[in-house]
Amino acid sequence: MASVDSREARTTGREAYRIRRYRPDDRAAFDSLYESVFGRPATDDWFAWRFVEPPAVDEIPIFVAEADGELVGARPFLCFRLETGSRRLLGVQTCDTMVHPDHRRRGLFTRMTERAYDHYGSREEPVVQFSVPNQYSRPGYLKLGCAVVGPFALSHRIHRPESLVDDDRLARLAGAGRPILRLYNTARQRLTAPTGGDDIGVRCHDRVPSETFEELYETAVPNRIHAVRSRAFYEWRFDNPRWTYRAYTAHRGGEPVAGIVTGTKTANGRTRMQLTDVVPLVGGRYRRSALAALLRRILSDAGFVDLVSARPGAIPAELLAAFGFAPDDRFPLSLATTTTLLITKLIDGREDDRWLVDGHDLQDPTSWQLALAEHNTA
């Protein structure tokens, strides 16, 4: 890799750009660029949650481009402490990439990302990038040496189909099918009767009981790459001010046996709920019956939302199907959705074994155990 100093300043076309780490005095310029690109403010509580408070790192993981002293680009990351089953490492996920319109198509996306790779490649521990970029930025990551792992599919339970269509006429047509969809969802839910003899009860919490969720996670830690579910993780991850989170725990004989965190957000007149986290991530004697009881309660509380989304795998796909969820990478939802892909890269400055971490092939989908809790948009 090129040295860090060699990338601090370089001339592209007629302008010299400096690529460097974010500094605290960049905050106002970052806010201005963020609002101009994304059309909303980067509020203090959101910025602190996203970049200052994550327990995985003790630095602000942002790299910026400036021209003539003006901030014209930013390459932030969301950081997680990852677990492989026997080893912990740093995971970085790309997010909120920004380049001012007057400075696009000048290589700043590539140069800021390369500067980040220089920084993370110099760490003693392995650093793994794992991201779900859109179809526009994905080619740029592939040119920088990332590899596609596979689809990052979701399953959806649609409550109000008209809310998913922007065109007024199509919305009216979609809305006409709402009674049929309601009957279908209700029928599927009734067919998933509680498993006899398991005696599962469900409790709802306005805040995630972090100690309980940590204990549930530790009952069955997967031998796959995933974010470590510690108390610090739960206290940080579900404090995102742009979402409203609730937790549900399933109990048998008074003891918790499983839990789900839901996140709800309203944007553009649509309210969406995500089943953001599930514990234990794998196994557990009562896991299926507990998850069924949790889903039944959550969906009973979710009558006000337009759409409920979940990650197959975090919750068994057949259980989601039993509750009326349909995968977005299969017919019919595949007709209206764009396939999202998980990409990855081992950032350690080496060329040998650059896809292997603790015996796990990063390019193999079975090496990963990801819920929506590891996704930067959830």
Give the pLDDT confidence of 293-302 residue by residue, as tens digits.
999 999 999 9
Kind and range of the H or E run holding 247: strand 244-252
Residues 124, 217, single domain; the answer is no
Residues in the chain where the model's pLDDT stays below 70: 1-15, 162-197, 349-353
Pairing of strands 307-310, 270-279: parallel
Res 189: pLDDT = 62
The whole-angstrom separation of Cα 7 and Cα 115 is 7
Residues 326, 178, single domain; the answer is yes
Cα separations in angstroms, 126 against 224, 314, 372: 16, 25, 23
The whole-angstrom separation of Cα 312 and Cα 156 is 10
Res 40: pLDDT = 96
Q: Cβ of 356: how many Cβ atoms within 10 Å?
A: 14
The whole-angstrom separation of Cα 286 and Cα 200 is 9
Residues 206, 190, single domain; the answer is yes
Residues 203, 321, single domain; the answer is yes
Task: Please count the structural domains in the chain.
Answer: 2
DSSP-assigned beta bridge partners for residue 277? 261
CATH number at residue 364: 3.40.630.30
Six-digit token string for 150:
């596979």
Res 147: pLDDT = 96
Kind and range of the H or E run holding 260: strand 255-267
Residues 249, 327, single domain; the answer is yes
Res 333: pLDDT = 83
Residues 116, 228, single domain; the answer is no
Residue-range definition of the domain harbouring residue 100 = 5-151+341-374
Q: Look up residue 44 and give its DSSP letter.
A: H
Res 97: pLDDT = 95
